[in-house]
Structure 1
Amino acid sequence: MCLIAFAWQIHPRWRLLLAGNRDEFHARPSAPLARWNDLPIIGGRDLEAGGTWLGITETGRCCVVTNVRDPRDPQQGASRGLLATDFLAGVNDAPTHAQSLLATATDYRPFNLLTFDTDHGFYIGNRPEARAQLIEPGVHGLSNADFNTPWPKTKALMNRLQAWLDAGHEVDFAPLFRALANEERAPDEVLPDTGVGVERERWLSSAFIRGEQYGTRASTIVAIGYDGRALIVEQRFGPNGRFQGQTELPVGWVSAA
């Protein structure tokens, strides 16, 4: 993923409500949202490295990963997508997993990771050093920088999510998909400087990235309820933002509690 906003433990129905965009090269092979046959994961799948950028499970776990935008940092190490797969298919709760991952976090390519179980949420990152942070209830955002870094598109999506919450929505996700489809670019004076040049910063400053070779591949909403019911909806896009379909999967997991 490259842009995420989520509400954690503050919605009356949804324990976790998450909206995010995955930006990637269009040539990279990917499978759409589905239940995996070989692992207890529900999500899209990177067919090149075998992992996922976002997934959930029938037992109420969720995991999302982004890269860190810094062309000066070599992209060396294990695939980031395997971090999500390992958590979703694992048995450790989020706190135990976070502490364990700190020991090996630097073995992976630059990453930001969000992990959620039925009680806890964690942010784990490995740049500039390995660290883990408990996520407090509230609205949060993440892009290709540190957790809650106020990049313009991150703040804009967080504000749209807060407006959705204030309006009392439960299952009308259309306003969130419209927010993820926003192509408005940020003014130059508020652009981040990540070392890619001002033209590319402008292009990457909108929520939805439209391009022939690279752009937004998927927009996804995840809603996991306190009552043991969940819903994940994925919209997919091809080169130049061409719509390629939508998948919606209800999940009826039963809490062990």
Structure 2
Amino acid sequence: MILNAVTVFIIHNSQRVKLYMCILFIAVDQSQEFPLVIAANRDEFHARPTAVSGFWNNHPHVLAGHDLQAHGTWMGVTRNGKVAALTNIRAPETIKTDAISRGGLVADWLIDEAMKQPTYLNVLRANRHKYNGYNLVYGDVKSLAVYNNFEDTHATLTQGVYGLSNANLTTPWPKVTKGIASLTDYVSQNNQLDTEALFAILKDEDKASDHTLPNTGIGYEWEKRLSSIFIQSPEYGTRTSTLLLVNSHQQIHWYERTFNTRGDVVGNQHFIIG
């Protein structure tokens, strides 16, 4: 299964440039009642056909959405608690037109129930040059790691709150630091988590001030447009927000919210595993 996650083409400095989006916020062991919280946005063209999340017909242990154009996914979980999610690296000068689509990395981890983290890390490293840049969050509800093929780095997510967008795990883009702060404050002050409050963190449309914008080679207009956690425009923006909550009994709750071109909610999904 493959997915060319969120690709935007623009003309900048007489070059055809690709932009990649998606953002993840992850709280590990910050709440006694909810030892794992993942809040994520997927951003893409509104015209790109996508199916809402559900258990896959061919692999009924996998719960994930479906990109119907490339037949892959961007984030998912299994009945046994395996987890994977993908963000792409925004580095337009390094794009390879013949690269393998990255969403298959998410699907491969979820589909293969016997695959272990050390084995998969070897696979990722052996094939990293075949893909454009990505961050892959993978593991299970008790142990997650992030592999960055662009820098060939690997990090285990120990106790803490993390944000991951389209650079490495430690890059302090404004929207990343803002989301980390918001999630940290919320989970530290609330034993019982309100999904509406978590979705509100993902719905933040405030754009970064000009002097704090990253310079990734895509030009001011796109840097500004993509600087908010939630992106809204007629042709491109946040299509899906997802919450994955694991409680102290290892029960998994999956919430998905889908949006139209105006940023209005047009669908809700909720699944419980365990």
TM-fit CA distance, 1:228 = 2.6
Alignment of 1:100-119 (within 5 A): 100-119=123-142
TM-score after normalising by structure 1: 0.92
Decide whether aligned partners of structure 1 residues 6 and 209 sit closer, same or farther in structure 2, where only a CA change above 3 A counts: same
Task: Return the alpha-carbon distance in structure 1 between the equivalents of residues 69 and 222 of structure 2.
Answer: 26
Deviations 1:139-174 (A, max 9, x none): 111001111311110111111111111112433121
Task: Return the alpha-carbon distance in structure 2 between the equivalents of residues 118 and 231 of structure 1.
Answer: 11
Q: Partner residue of 1:13?
A: 33
Q: Secondary structure at the match of 1:102?
A: helix
1:97 correspondence with 2:117: no
- Residue identity over aligned pairs, in percent, reads 36
Q: Partner residue of 2:268?
A: 246
Q: Partner residue of 2:64?
A: 43
TM-fit CA distance, 1:240 = 2.8
Task: Return the alpha-carbon distance in structure 1 between the equivalents of residues 107 and 45 of structure 2.
Answer: 21
Q: Partner residue of 1:69?
A: 90
Task: Return the alpha-carbon distance in structure 2 between the equivalents of residues 195 and 81 of structure 1.
Answer: 24
TM-fit CA distance, 1:108 = 1.8
Q: Partner residue of 2:147?
A: 124
RMSD: 1.5
Kept in 2, the 8 Å contact 1:208–1:216? The answer is yes
Q: State which drifts further: 7-16 or 205-214.
A: 7-16
Deviations 1:112-153 (A, max 9, x none): 1101224421111111x3232222221111001111311110
Q: Specify every segment of 5 or more residues in structure 2 that has no aligned partner in the other structure, as ranges.
A: 1-20
Letter in structure 2 aligned against 1:98: L
Q: Specify every segment of 5 or more residues in structure 1 that has no aligned partner in the other structure, as ranges.
A: 253-257
Q: Secondary structure at the match of 1:85?
A: helix
Kept in 2, the 8 Å contact 1:94–1:117? The answer is no
Task: Return the alpha-carbon distance in structure 2 between the equivalents of residues 178 and 89 of structure 1.
Answer: 31
TM-fit CA distance, 1:244 = 1.3
Q: Secondary structure at the match of 1:156?
A: helix
Task: Return the alpha-carbon distance in structure 2 between the equivalents of residues 185 and 228 of structure 1.
Answer: 36
Q: Partner residue of 1:255?
A: none
Kept in 2, the 8 Å contact 1:25–1:214? The answer is yes
TM-fit CA distance, 1:10 = 3.2
